[in-house]
Amino acid sequence: MYNFMLNLHSYLRWVVVIIGIIAVVMAWAGVFSRARWTPQQVNLGRLITIVFDTQALVGVLLYAWLSPITTSAFRDMASAMKDAGVRFYVAEHSLVMIIAAVLVHIGVLRARKKDSPLQAAIFYTLAIVGVLALTPWGRPLLPGS
């Protein structure tokens, strides 16, 4: 179960990054062409929230139950926080990724409310910057590689 969820989390990272970048480019293109919040943007907004939420859910399952890194850290949080490698997953990665998922939701809601892609552009950009900065790129780029 652990390996399955970790591999899923690893593959989904690419879906998050690719859909995220497409959504950022489309939102800014909408801003610069002074477009309104089009049905195409609405659909992309739906897709990006589903993708972020799914990845965050898999991450929470790893975090709370499956990952040996976090579950052993919970037994001694004081020492876990002193180890930068463990702290990364216990605190930095998890927190920033959850914030990124929340930012995507805020972007979609505000863009719809104000009928403007600017809101989506700003919030999606912040989210994708957080994802790119806090993804553990030192780990395999694909499971088994």
Residues that bind ligand HEM (CB under 6 A): 6, 9-10, 13, 16, 52, 55-56, 59-60, 62-63, 67-70, 89, 93-94, 97-98, 100-101, 131, 135-136, 139-140, 143
Retrieve residue 126's tokens. 């912040």
Least distance in angstroms from the C-beta of 145 to ligand HEM: 10
Q: How far apart are CA 28 and CA 10, in angstroms?
A: 28
Q: Cβ–Cβ contacts within 10 Å for residue 9, how many? A: 20
Q: Do 109 and 115 meet the contact criterion of CB atoms below 8 Å apart?
A: no
| Closest-approach residue to ligand HEM (CB) | 59
Least distance in angstroms from the C-beta of 33 to ligand HEM: 29
3-state secondary structure of 144: coil
Residue whose CB is less far from ligand HEM, 29 or 77: 77
Q: How far apart are CA 142 and CA 145, in angstroms?
A: 6
Q: How far apart are CA 19 and CA 13, in angstroms?
A: 10
Least distance in angstroms from the C-beta of 11 to ligand HEM: 9
Residue whose CB is less far from ligand HEM, 26 or 58: 58
Residue whose CB is less far from ligand HEM, 27 or 128: 128
Q: How far apart are CA 108 and CA 9, in angstroms?
A: 23
Least distance in angstroms from the C-beta of 99 to ligand HEM: 9
Residue whose CB is less far from ligand HEM, 39 or 68: 68
